[in-house]
Chain A
Amino acid sequence: EIVLTQSPDFQSVTPKEKVTITCRASQYIGSSLHWYQQKPDQSPKLLIKYASQSVSGVPSRFSGSGSGTDFTLTINSLEAEDAAAYYCHQSSSLPNTFGQGTKLQIK
């Protein structure tokens, strides 16, 4: 089973700040890595697919990069509405797995 390790687990940030969340896979997964945002009491929402591909309707301040085992989600100019938990997910092999999540708190 591929283990995805995110860092940090928690981050307190101010509006307009740039945020970087990393996701490291325990083995090679190519670009089969996707990012989700989950706000309290809501279902997860897809932000980025295949490591760096944008998703329709997602603000352009969200971007992704990486391949192989190391991946990054970047939020440029953070907004108050970005307070949420963020998860990476790999679909390279079965079982699919998620990272443990990163909680962003807005100061």
Chain B
Amino acid sequence: EVQLVQSGAEVKKPGESLRISCETSGYTFISYWISWVRQMPGKGLEWMGRIDPSDSYTNYSPSFQGHVTITADKSISTAYLQWSSLKASDTAMYYCTTGSGWFDSWGQGTLVTVSS
């Protein structure tokens, strides 16, 4: 069974850094891209970017390029989403997801709250 297990909720202050994780199991990690999806409170889904775990090649949405970094560690089948300087507008639920073009496996989500 494919499983994506995300790290727990975070509460941070503006300007702080953060890295959240997505630990995978049940499939060959390097076989499928992993994407990150943002959902702001009460809003829809936004695709942020993706990583090819086999070589860590990344693509980003222009809306998120330069503000977040997606990485992966294939030795532990885990992907990461990180910020170097959080803003209040980063408050959202973040999902990792994977599949062959479509997204058929999703993490449970990580709630990030940024507040002074």
Does B associate with A?
yes
Which one of A12-20, A65-73, A75-83, A86-94 is at the B interface? A86-94
CB of B61 closer than 8 Å to a CB of A: yes
CB of B59 closer than 8 Å to a CB of A: yes
CB of B60 closer than 8 Å to a CB of A: yes
Q: A43-B109, A44-B95 are in contact. Are A96 and B47 (CB under 8 A)?
A: yes
Q: Are B44 and A87 in contact (CB under 8 A)?
A: yes
Interface size on B, residues (CB 8 A): 24
Residues from chain A with Cβ under 8 Å of B45 in the complex: 36, 38, 44, 87, 89, 98, 101
CB of B106 closer than 8 Å to a CB of A: yes
Kindly identify which residue among B37, B46, B102 contacts A91, using a CB–CB cutoff of 8 Å: B102
In the complex, the chain B residue whose C-beta lies closest to that of A96 is B47
- Give the interface size class of chain A: 20 to 34
Q: How far is the CA of A38 from the CA of B63 in the complex (A)?
A: 23
CB contacts under 8 Å to A, within B38-67, are: 44-47, 49-50, 59-63
In the complex, the chain B residue whose C-beta lies closest to that of A98 is B45
Q: How far is the CA of A95 from the CA of B46 in the complex (A)?
A: 10
- Chain A nearest Cβ from B83, distance in angstroms: 19
Residues from chain B with Cβ under 8 Å of A55 in the complex: 104
- 23 residue pairs of the A-B complex, CB under 8 angstroms, read A1-B62, A36-B103, A43-B95, A44-B37, A44-B45, A44-B95, A44-B103, A44-B106, A45-B106, A46-B104, A89-B45, A89-B47, A89-B102, A94-B59, A95-B59, A96-B61, A97-B47, A98-B44, A98-B45, A98-B46, A98-B47, A99-B44, A101-B45
